[in-house]
């Protein structure tokens, strides 16, 4: 009986030390991880809205904060909005930073977080060898349609090809593409109401 109690105490001490070590590591790394996330989000905003010189956070307390983007440092020339859209993909929540102009035409997107199936839904971030950007995300940049002589893609009506839209789905992963398009459409619609209302 004493042997079992001794083993229980040893197990409790080892478990307590392990939990304490994990808590200490979490305490030390959490600020570093948060700083990294802030830098990555700022980089994504600048990438989807390259013409932006000043980004002003609006409605930071709401469930969908967004940035007003200005072409000058003084904040007098509004050129659009940047926001993060979240949609339920096949196996994860897909987070996408999107930039739109003042008419809510898409300027660009960047998928910043996803845990979709490798080789299928994860292709939403895949960059083909020899290219600089993702073929899937390239479809969301305004220049993609302008170069083809087509009208720009509006965030309020965006849809994948399976739903009658312009965005070509990822083969075998329509759910992921649909999650990205629908989340952008929903977020853009909400922001439009807030900025015009």
Percent of the chain scored above 90 by pLDDT? 50
- The tally of domains found in the chain comes to 1
For residues 180 and 94, the answer to whether their CB atoms sit within 8 Å is yes
Residue 176 lies inside a defined structural domain of this protein: yes
Residue 36 lies inside a defined structural domain of this protein: no
pLDDT at residue number 184:
95
Residue 145: domain span: 49-196
Residue 9 lies inside a defined structural domain of this protein: no
pLDDT at residue number 143:
67
For residues 135 and 63, the answer to whether their CB atoms sit within 8 Å is no
Average pLDDT for 140-168: 82
First to last CA, the chain: 73
Residue in 59, 110, 49, 111 with CA at minimum distance from that of residue 80: 49
Residue in 114, 96, 126, 107 with CA at minimum distance from that of residue 186: 96
Helices (H) and strands (E) in the chain — how many of each? Answer: 4, 5
Residue 24 lies inside a defined structural domain of this protein: no
Question: pLDDT, tens digit, for every residue of 29-79?
Answer: 999 999 998 899 989 999 999 999 999 999 877 889 999 999 999 989 999
């Amino acid at each position: 009986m004493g042997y079992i109690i001794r083993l229980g105490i040893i197990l409790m001490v080892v478990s307590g030390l392990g939990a304490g070590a994990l808590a200490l590591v979490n305490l030390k790394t959490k600020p570093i991880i948060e700083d990294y996330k802030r830098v990555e989000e700022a980089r994504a905003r600048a990438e989807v809205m390259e013409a932006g010189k000043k980004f002003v956070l609006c409605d930071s307390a709401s469930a969908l904060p967004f940035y007003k983007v200005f072409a000058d440092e003084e904040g007098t020339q509004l050129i659009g909005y940047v926001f993060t859209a979240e949609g339920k993909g096949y196996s994860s929540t897909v987070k996408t930073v999107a930039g739109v102009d003042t008419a809510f035409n898409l300027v660009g997107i960047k998928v910043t977080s996803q845990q979709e199936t490798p080789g299928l839904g994860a292709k939403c971030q895949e960059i083909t060898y020899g290219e600089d950007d993702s073929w899937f995300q390239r479809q969301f940049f305004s220049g993609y349609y302008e170069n083809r002589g087509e009208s720009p893609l509006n965030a309020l009506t965006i849809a994948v090809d399976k739903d009658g839209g312009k965005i070509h789905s990822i083969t075998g992963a329509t759910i992921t593409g649909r999650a990205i398009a629908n989340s952008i459409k929903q977020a853009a619609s909400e922001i439009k109401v807030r900025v015009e209302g």
